[in-house]
Chains A and B, each alone.
Chain A
């Protein structure tokens, strides 16, 4: 069994879809609110913010009224309602009293929208990040000799894999 050293750590690359999101965020006048929303995490993926996961879409202000747009990963994702509540509560606490959370449907969410930092966080949580060719690498020993145990893992966005080298079972964030 060959183990890779830390220096061979995977480097996450920004996708064109993420680059588009990023430039939209950077061109916004409401940097303070975008930064504030970085505090909100997916309750089922603690440690990865809604920005990094790609589901924070937009921050819009009209007079004193704020509209935060988010999207769900999968149409049945139960986390999206609680994320909406978290946003409303946080905004309220920080003095943005008139806030509406809007759920948008288009464009459909894709794992291409995840930020490079988000991919790194997944690795840190020992979740294998999405791969277009479904080359799933063990997040524990980095071995490539892995097999699919179940197409669905602990949540709809993950599949369950096992490493044939270190025998560890792990979640794989489905390429979607």
Chain B
């Protein structure tokens, strides 16, 4: 009986690590799509540097998951050889980059979210998780320093830039609710002091986002329509296309290395 409990615990932890890795790798891939398409060189470099930070996180989560699974699979197997339904990222990470306003508004939403989430996760009883979160938290604080001024600039800039921010907001509001929905197996990990209850940071996230957007005379309202399903592997139509690109090389030339 004792072994059975430990087995579920281990399974839950692995699942959790892969989900966090999926959030990061998918988001990183989206940001990397800006490479050579940024509005100007410095911003191009900034977008891809943020992407690099997220790749780093994904690698740390996947490496840890691979170590726990201990079945000979590596971080690369997890990233490149799973299908759409096996990915469990929260949906907001997989939405297409759209225009620069959309990319930066999502970045801002994610930055506020990760500053709160990683802060909480750094208190995890799991030492490795806590260490990864502590390291990543510093990066997210820095990302926020870049996304905030961009939102202000775009929202208070020209009519066109403001319209684009408002359009981005109308779309993103359908996906922010999922950030705070918990699966049963995640709740079990929260009870063990390993994971973080995301529903508990929702109020603070909304408070910060509303107050910040209000400075640019934008009202933040959580819409009734909330799309969800990412943590169960139910995705938007966009993820499959992303994976077909991201996994192309390993699917076409299995085992290919640098």
Contacts and interface: CB of A to CB of B under 8 A. Distances in A.
Given A105-B128, A151-B46, A160-B42, A75 B134 contact: no
Contacts of A151: 46, 142, 145-146
Given A75-B57, A76-B57, A109 B42 contact: no
Contacts of B49: 152, 155-156
Contacts, number: 64
B97 interface: no
Interface in A96-121: 105-110
Contacts of B146: 151
Interface residues of B, number: 27
Contact of B134 (A72, A106, A153, A155): A106
Interface string B41-66: 01101100110111111011000000
A152 B53 CA distance: 12
B179 to A, nearest CB: 21
Contacts of A106: 127, 130-131, 134
Interface residues of A, number: 23
B101 to A, nearest CB: 18
B18 to A, nearest CB: 17
B84 interface: no
A151 B53 CA distance: 14
Nearest to A78: B52
Q: Max chain B CB contacts within 10 Å: which of A74, A106, A107, A152?
A: A152
A108 B135 CA distance: 5
A66 to B, nearest CB: 22
Interface in A42-85: 72, 74-78
B46 A76 contact: no
Contact of A156 (B52, B57, B59): B52
12 contacts: A72-B56, A74-B139, A76-B53, A78-B52, A105-B132, A108-B131, A150-B42, A150-B46, A151-B142, A152-B42, A153-B45, A160-B42
Interface of B: 42-43, 45-46, 49-50, 52-57, 59-60, 127-128, 130-132, 134-136, 138-139, 142, 145-146
